[in-house]
Amino acid sequence: MELSTQMGSDLQFAIIPDQSAWAGLKSVDGLARALGVLQSDFMTKPNYLTFQGKPVVFWFYPPSLGGLDTWKQLRNRADPNRQQYWFGGTDDFSYLDVYDALYYFDITWESRPGAAMASYAGRLDRYNQANGQSRPFVATVMPGYDDLKLRGGHARDRQGGDYYRGTWQTAIDRNAQAVVLTSFNEFFEGSHIEPSETYGDLYLRLTKELSDKFRAEVGQQQAQPTPGNCQTFPETGFQVCGRLLDYWKQNGGLPVFGYPIGPQQSVMIEGKPFQAQEFERNRLELHPENKPPYDVLLGRLGAAVLERQGRDWQQIPKLGGAPAGCRYFPETGHAICEPFLSYWQSHGLEFDGRRGYSPEESLALFGLPLSDPQPETQSDGKTYVTQWFERARFEAHPENAPPYNVLLGLLGVEMKK
């Protein structure tokens, strides 16, 4: 790493602790000590690889250490505050309780090029939707494989570079948020990209060509915001930039959205990648295909949290009409009454340039009501009169003076748990 810096290279490095190969690493104690050294001696270097602002650790063949409970012990001991980003080499999605993302170490067993990534991407989409998560899709690319002579395993013909091209194209087509190139310079695995008598430097040239193509076609979509119009929030350590910052300031700021609890990053929304950022109370999504002000949209976190709790809002009992002094929404069969009605009417997205907020502007901010007010116990163990909306949860706090007698639930925080 130091030599790379001295040479002026921008190459970055990460470590794969192979606990399957070294006796000293085949225990929680041994790996925790090793990670301590990694943290103090390597992760502090400027050219150590980071992902989403955190130093990266890759893990190979998790069963060699133990089951999920063993890995939980390791994470809680070695990285209790989740300051690192762990990539786990497994397709067992239960391990996402420990790892931040999963990846395939080897894809060459697949029945046809692209099959492994197609299966993984579909399962990941279902996991994210079911758990209210945005775990990244990490694609694997390989030049080929052949360990038949010494291991009696399997082989994947290189097809003159076409198989390698196909794996990269799959990463591009699926808008991968990261790419792992599995290539080991052991002749008996046949996955090398280093120059050889058989292939010359073909695979080095292809690696540059195809990685450049990936960056051009996918990387630009996932680029982090450039410094400039940004505000850093020391309360959480994250910054908000550009259009998202403007939107945050213009449409309610801290009381409506809360502090940022993650970086702006690419997330999959309905199968497509968009730049988005999570806040305590909601998620802001950039939709450049729309004209302002609709180029920023709010996540439907109210509906998502209800679904995550196993509650179907469409089965919540409905009203037949509007009670006195309330506003009724026939679209969902629910009404907004005081004190929530005043709060709803006094907040909204600014569309028309006029003072105050129209019902359409309030609706754009909070969405339709999905329930009627009722007492509910929240995460702090206390019971509040609560009403659910598509994009928010209103909580009545009569102990507070207006306008703080109505507060918004921390849906963004709850979605990350």
For 9, counting Cβ atoms within 10 Å of its Cβ (0-12 exposed, 13-18 middle, 19+ buried), the class is exposed
Residue 35 domain-assigned? yes
259 against 270, higher pLDDT: 259
Look at residue 336 in the predicted model and tell me its pLDDT.
96
Average pLDDT over every residue of 203-226? 77
Q: Are residues 157 and 12 in the same domain?
A: yes
- pLDDT-derived band of residue 392, with 50, 70 and 90 as boundaries? very high
CB 362 within 8 Å of CB 377: no
Residue 21 in tokens:
């190969």
Sequence-separated (6 or more) residues with CB below 8 Å from residue 158: 143, 144, 164, 199
Q: Comparing 5-9, 33-37, 65-69, 375-379, which segment has the lowest mean pLDDT?
A: 5-9
Q: Flag whether pLDDT at 227 surpasses 60.
A: no
Distance separating alpha carbons of residues 106 and 103, to the nearest angstrom: 9
Q: What is the DSSP letter of 27?
A: S
CB 16 within 8 Å of CB 60: yes
| Per-residue pLDDT reduced to its tens digit, 136-161 | 899 999 999 999 988 888 999 999 99
Q: Under DSSP, is residue 189 helix (H, G, I), strand (E, B) or coil?
A: coil
Look at residue 242 in the predicted model and tell me its pLDDT.
86
Paired residues of 145 in beta bridges: 156
Distance separating alpha carbons of residues 186 and 373, to the nearest angstrom: 65
Look at residue 189 in the predicted model and tell me its pLDDT.
86
Residue 343 in tokens:
């709060």
Q: Comparing 124-128, 266-270, 316-320, which segment has the lowest mean pLDDT?
A: 266-270
Residue 308 domain-assigned? no
Q: Domain range holding 253?
A: 224-299
Q: Flag whether pLDDT at 260 surpasses 80.
A: yes
DSSP β-ladder status, 238-241 and 155-156: unpaired
DSSP β-ladder status, 230-233 and 54-59: unpaired
Our CA angle for 280, 299, 276, nearest 5°, is: 75
Looking at the chain, the number of H-run helices and the number of E-run strands are 13, 20
Q: Are residues 31 and 118 in the same domain?
A: yes
Kind plus residue range of the DSSP H or E element containing 365: helix 359-366
Look at residue 167 in the predicted model and tell me its pLDDT.
94
Look at residue 289 in the predicted model and tell me its pLDDT.
76
Average pLDDT over every residue of 113-138? 85
Residue 120 domain-assigned? yes
Residue where the block lists tokens 């996540």: 299
Query: What's the alpha-carbon Rg for the chain, to the nearest Å?
Result: 25
Look at residue 222 in the predicted model and tell me its pLDDT.
47
Residue 415 domain-assigned? no
Q: Are residues 198 and 255 in the same domain?
A: no
Look at residue 223 in the predicted model and tell me its pLDDT.
46
Q: Are residues 19 and 149 in the same domain?
A: yes
Q: Flag whether pLDDT at 23 surpasses 70.
A: yes
> Cis ω on the peptide bond leading into residue 359 (within 30° of 0)?
no
Residue 416 domain-assigned? no
Look at residue 100 in the predicted model and tell me its pLDDT.
93
Q: Are residues 192 and 46 in the same domain?
A: yes
Sequence-separated (6 or more) residues with CB below 8 Å from residue 299: 276, 282, 283, 284, 285, 391
Distance separating alpha carbons of residues 303 and 295, to the nearest angstrom: 21
pLDDT averaged over every residue in the chain:
87
Q: Are residues 377 and 277 in the same domain?
A: no
Q: Flag whether pLDDT at 208 surpasses 90.
A: yes
Look at residue 125 in the predicted model and tell me its pLDDT.
85
Q: Are residues 71 and 199 in the same domain?
A: yes
Look at residue 108 in the predicted model and tell me its pLDDT.
93
Residue 404 domain-assigned? yes
Q: Flag whether pLDDT at 73 surpasses 90.
A: yes
Q: Please, what sign has the CA dihedral across residues 232, 236, 242, 244?
A: negative
Average pLDDT over every residue of 105-118? 88
CB 98 within 8 Å of CB 88: yes
| Per-residue pLDDT reduced to its tens digit, 263-295 | 888 777 766 678 889 999 999 998 877 777 788
> What is the b/e burial string over 274-298, where b = at least 16 CB atoms within 10 angstroms of the residue's CB?
bbbbbbbbbbbbbeeeeeebeebbb
What's the chain's length in residues? 417
Q: Are residues 250 and 384 in the same domain?
A: no
Residue 67: how many other CB atoms lie within 10 Å: 12
Number of independent structural domains in the chain:
3
Look at residue 393 in the predicted model and tell me its pLDDT.
95
Q: Are residues 247 and 187 in the same domain?
A: no
Q: Which of 257, 272, 299 is a domain's end point?
A: 299
Average pLDDT over every residue of 219-226? 50
Q: Are residues 205 and 108 in the same domain?
A: yes
Distance separating alpha carbons of residues 233 and 248, to the nearest angstrom: 13
Residue 191 domain-assigned? yes
CB 105 within 8 Å of CB 60: yes
Distance separating alpha carbons of residues 413 and 145, to the nearest angstrom: 43
Residue 81 domain-assigned? yes
Q: Are residues 154 and 59 in the same domain?
A: yes
Q: Flag whether pLDDT at 12 surpasses 60.
A: yes
Please spell the DSSP secondary structure of 317-363, one letter per residue: ---SSPPTT-EEETTTTEEE-TTHHHHHHT-----S--SS--HHHHH
